[in-house]
Structure 1
């Protein structure tokens, strides 16, 4: 086919195909492989392909031989092993720091100066990024926890990692480049914790009401980092005690769990205006009253994935997953296979981007 179709035409066709098909087509010829591995195709694919999110299951590293990647029979879920990370570090425990456009960012657990690992689970490729050094030239800060976030700058078609040190220091890493300190006075307005949610070109952290010190400007608000402008700011939230933030197919959303009977999901439809709209109300009939329920995101057919955590006997926790269909207003338990307490589940948009292309720059 490459003898009859110009490269530009092949590029346009590939940008509209599912990632699973593209990875198979890499074997057709060296030309096809080069086109599919071109970072420009990944960026165009993100804009043109109508592929829906999959449910991604991330199994922790194990000594048992397991398939690195497996698709569900109906194509609804993607199951991947984190064994690949053990080839880069002498550890079997990793902390998910964030995810964006098909890439995931990990660090080693219980290691303050851990390198970062950027993973494309579908391609089973990983690139190691050294942490910024030094974080700050004061020994008394050496014990503070580092927080990272992964985002995408659409103006330059580049991925960036922002590293935060407890509201004191912030640095930015551009994939394939190096770490740079944020200009003094442009750091985060308060300390943030946990993984951020990437949406609308920015990373977002929800600062709980009890967080920070008295008088902290960020208390009870949302801290954001504009990935393109590399600037921090604050967003006001609706007037209720929020549970968590979530990415709903590119839109920033916040979850209200103030009622035991239902979950309300507010979506920021017009990000520039910073206006919230109550988009979903999910009834919890049949769900145990004391169970913790977390909205994970949108997946195929517009269904919302929910994580249900409850206590078993002997104080052992158990995770179940449900799908909510907004069209029928119905909840159903999932058929996600082989879940255990350590398996992480995400709503995932795959990407053909090869992170191995950036190893030479590390």
Structure 2
């Protein structure tokens, strides 16, 4: 337990030799350090999970996820440790709040970043179902778009085919009606267009000849329709429309399993809405509160440091900082004084040396003058 406490003290950014002198402060910094440690741990798991989906399918995906997770967790841990340890408890309340404001904003951003991959894992099943629907709708929209583009490309051919089909339907309907009238004439049914006399008379023979001619025209028209449809089918095959099909259930499962981080993140946002576009308040609240939980967890060490009263450890560290500042200033002043003395000594030495040189030169000039006189 002693080693564990010292580890959490290190996580809190406390000065361990000073903290050991004040037992009443140790539990507070153990709690702060534990919160920072577990925040870094969650960050490592979150970052590793996110990176795993980035490289999913690669043989080294797990190794990449572990390495990035450790680096990301260490970065968040170091940042949290700095945020908490940099709050100066010797300052006034307003100044502490001012100091903590950017740190709280940074903690909120870190909480959002950490919570998102964990939310993806919590709602993994629902995300996969939403992705399946999305992929199926996307494939259907793709096929519809391709067909629309194809129809626009061969608009003349489709227009001719549709006209032929309309003529075929009209002929089939007319032949069916005429065949019924012929039967009425043969069997003696009295109508406005039949004589009512039973038998195969001249009218019946003429009507049957007309029907046969129209059936021949219909067969020729059907042959032309078949040729037009064959041409369009070949063009569809050439343009690749036959290869585009709706995904099967197995294909949907496969696509959902290999979905990347961006697709899963999009699907998580779509969970807040029902299929008809209305808002799903239950899921939206669940996603929101999970994010808020991690944000609060990330901000908790800062709040604990702000809410705690100034204890003996804070006084001791503040006094130590003032002593260090005073000693540093004193050492600096002493260095400046020593430098000034060295400079003055050097100047005096150079002045004395210059005087001696001038004195020796004057003496040599005097001797030379005496020698010239002699």
What TM-score, normalized by structure 2, do the two folds share?
0.16
Higher helix share: 2
Higher strand share: 1
Which one has the largest radius of gyration?
2
Q: Which has the bigger relative contact order, CA under 8 A and spacing at least 6?
A: 2
What TM-score, normalized by structure 1, do the two folds share?
0.16
